[in-house]
Structure 1
Amino acid sequence: MIDTYNTAADAQADRRQQQALLAALAAADRALRRDECGAWHIGGSRGSIHTWGDGRSWVLFVSCRSALHWTHTKRKLAICTVTQDGDDEGCLRLHQLPTPEQAAVIREALGIPKRRTITDEIRQRLKAYGFKQMPRREAAPAWNFWRERARAGGSAGPASQPKKTGELTNLEMVTQHER
């Protein structure tokens, strides 16, 4: 990867500026990445956002499906200044952090995913479905179930079929895995 920054401090400053915009856009954290040149950018399915270089503004690259779509997108993004106007794509300069309404328009125009907010109600519903947070060094519940069942003398797997010569049973696999 090519490094586009002169110093690590420049890269950190660029990243901090992008993180501020990412928070203002209420965009998913995974949208902030490095591009093929090593520059920090906020990427979407229809465009990307880079810093302008002055520490205060950003450049939005937007790729549209047609010339008419590009015309309508420019109208929607009236908060930005058009710097490059192509047939069905272009660059716009964003001079300040957007309001929540403007952020929604920018996310939609560039195809940037929105940050998912999980309320306590949603968290409880996910836990009811079995999506609970597991400790990092503990086996998954299904693995524990079959291991405990095998130790108790029951079947070590969902299907108990006669084994062929040279095959291991699930109980033997569990035992070997624990060694």
Structure 2
Amino acid sequence: MFKNIFGSGFLVRTAHVILTWVITLILFLHDTDLRRQEETGKLVQPVLFVMLVLLSVLLYFAVSLMDPGFVLSNNDDSEAKLALGAGEEHQDMISQSTKSLWQRRCSHCLLQQPMRAKHCQICKHCVRRYDHHCPWIENCVGERNHRWFVLYLGAQLLALLWALFIACPCSQGLKMHIRTGATGS
């Protein structure tokens, strides 16, 4: 039972979410701009910050739990056509040269791999358009979740930079300088 829980990425996902929300809570509990704005009733920045953190966490779960594009069987080329939106009438128009796309057989799982597919040693599956196995999301990045992964990284980077700006004591002087409109001589 414990092997399934810890082997499935549960521990990594739990630690990520707890750490994210603990840091967000600390930013609201300590003397930061977010806390001061919340106390004075100016809720635009605090709400935007919490929404960005929530978006980051939701994208994290989407990317970490999403199928990255596993190659499931030797005949899933027709399944791939259906997934790409080709109906039965369009499948007849597609030439039978798709068999030439199958170049090699995986030496680990013995499935025929389409081009740009690679076997992930950690997940023990072949992944279409394999990019890498990310230990932070405990999942591969491939054909089906690559765009979501980049979107998650952007949201996470924005949230981290904003949190760093809020928490950094040197940013307080910069904020005062900007508010007073003081110009350097």
TM-score range, shorter chain: under 0.3
TM-score (norm 1): 0.24
Highest RCO, 1 vs 2 (Cα 8 Å, sep ≥ 6)? 2
When Rg is computed on C-alpha atoms for both structures, the one with the higher figure is 1
Between Structure 1 and Structure 2, which shows a larger proportion of helix residues?
2
TM-score (norm 2): 0.24
